[in-house]
Structure 1
Amino acid sequence: MAVRRSFVTLAVVAALGAGAVPPAAAQSALALSRRGASVGLAAALGNADRPEADRAADANRKPAGLLAFAGLRPGMNVADIMPGKGYFTRIFSNAVGAKGHVWAVVSAARVAQKPDAADAVKAIAADPAFGNVTALVQPLDAISIPKPLDLAWTSQNYHDVYYGVGADAALALDKAVFAALRRGGIFMVVDHVANPGMSPDDVRPLHRIDPAIIRQQVEAAGFQFEGQSGILVNRQDTHTLTVFDPAIRGHTDQVVLKFRKP
């Protein structure tokens, strides 16, 4: 597998958290690990195999902060669910390196509607620079990954399942992700924020969702809520415009939710 990578390999103390390392040493090892991970993410973002359009989007999408919050590390098995054109797929590939793997999971229903929907990530998987990427076209309620996942990720798409297909379909997706993750694995959901209490007919055309709905759905699938990041908060967004409106496109208020499989 030909994979170009330029990140720092993390040195982790094996006994960390097991009581064999004094607290001060454990804290130092953890800090070192986090610094190494930050350097690794920076290298992944700076890799020359990322398209210029992706690099230009980084200022608004803030991938370094998002993936640090998610806890992305070299060697992880990651699913990029509903990956679009592969913006995060490429970053995941660079960050997890040759010992990790990335599965870009495209909805089979979406491909049935739009036959070229998986073409972008299939092209990434066919590029030798991204030899640790596999493109899959699968039903979102029956996601099947060859290895237990460390991280499952979906960005700016959960609302499409919830409002486009239905609440039951979103719950089925959450349950499929739960089954695909290892114990302790992380599920990250990033999406455009809607105001609470909006009717489905009003919120659907905005391509947004109330964060409380996401949390309720994902927890109902068995996940534990780990936390929320404010890195993509935009208090100037009134949540009343469609996310494609030129006045707000690329700058929407977004929620970043982290869940763990117990």
Structure 2
Amino acid sequence: MSDPVPVPDYVSAAIADPARAYHFGRDERRRPGELIAFSGLRPGDRVLDLIPGGGYWTRLFSLIVGPEGHVYAVWPKNYADVAVSDVRRLRELVESPPFTNITVEVQPTPDLSAPEPLDMVWTSQNYHDYPDEFMGHYDPARLNAAVFAMLRPGGTWFIVDHAAEEGSGMRDTESLHRIDAAEVRRQVEAAGFEFVGESRVLRNAGDDRTLPVFDDSVRGHTDQFVMRFRKPE
């Protein structure tokens, strides 16, 4: 496990920015300061937010990377087809400052790409979706290969997801919306990435990892793993 990383002032300023006041109430459980500090995201970076949902992280990334950086908010088409309102709202958001440094895209699920080398690709609570039926049973190996191709040498692949029982592999991705952290690490390293470290900031020993993540007893406070990988220089 990695040691805690001090939260830079530019991250704290972005978290406190009134432009994202709508999401202030989610900060306590999502721990944005600690996660972004651990990720290493900096002003001027190019970052792709993969399956951005309601745009919680997208807004923060926009405020952090600033006018010299850029944020790509990308949905694979299979996912966009079931998240129509999220896609629409994020497209409306980026029409006005300070979020005009965001590009919103829906891309063919098998063919993720970026128009320039990226400093980071980030996905939160969605890696487990790829092997599921609605995503066309997309092979995670193809996802990791696509991310590898999009990143610059030294770039970061940052994954947050709901933890499944140890040794369960991908057994619970469809039924519980969880995935075994060790399986994710194995898949990502098999694609050529180097493991940088893991943060325990979202770990919750009170979640025994046997319930669906939408069950009222665990929703919003599941046991989650946070892993950072690097494309070799």
Give the 3 Å change call, closer, same or farther, for CA 89–144 of structure 1 in structure 2: same
* Corresponding residue for residue 230 of structure 1: 200
Runs of 4 or more consecutive aligned structure 1 residues displaced over 6 Å after TM superposition: none
User: Corresponding residue for 1:58?
Assistant: 27
Flag structure 1 segments of 5+ consecutive residues without an equivalent: 1-33
Aligned-residue Cα RMSD (Å) equals 1.9
| Structure 2 unaligned blocks of 5 or more | none
Deviation (angstroms), 1:253: 0.6
SS for the counterpart of 1:102 is strand
Maintained 8 Å contact 2:128/2:173: no
Q: How does 1:97-108 map to 2 (within 5 A)?
A: 97-108=66-77
Report the Cα distance in structure 1 between the residues aligned to 2:8 and 2:20, rounded to whole angstroms. 18
For 2:12 and 2:77, the matched residues in 1 are separated by 33
Distance 1:201 1:221, change over 3 A: closer
TM-score for both structures, normalised by structure 1: 0.81
1:121 aligns with 2:60: no
Number of residue-to-residue matches in the alignment:
227
Residue deviations 1:125-178, cap 9 Å, x none? 222220100001112432221211001000000111133447752111111111
Match of 1:175 among 145, 153, 156: 145
The reply on whether 1:209 has 2:212 as its aligned counterpart is: no
Indicate if the aligned counterparts of 2:152 and 2:231 stay in contact, CA closer than 8 A: yes
Q: Report the CA distance shift for 1:93/1:156 in structure 2 as closer, same or farther (over 3 A).
A: same
Does the CA contact (< 8 Å) of 2:50 and 2:123 recur in 1?
yes
Change (3 A) 1:202 1:190: closer
Q: Percent identity?
A: 45
1:239–1:148 CA distance, 2 compared to 1 (3 A): same
Secondary structure at 1:121 match in 2: helix
Which digits, 9 at most, give the CA deviation of each residue in 1:53-91, with x for residues without a partner?
Answer: x11110000011001000011000000000001000000
User: Which structure: larger Rg?
Assistant: 1
Contact 2:110 2:138 in 1 (8 A): no
Q: Tell whether the 8 Å contact from 1:140 to 1:173 is kept in structure 2 after alignment.
A: no
Which structure has greater helix proportion? Answer: 1
Q: Residue 204 of structure 1 aligns to a residue in which SS? A: coil
Mapped partners of 1:261, 1:192: distance in 2? 23
Q: Which residue of 1 aligns with 2:43?
A: 74
Q: Equivalent residue for 2:215?
A: 245
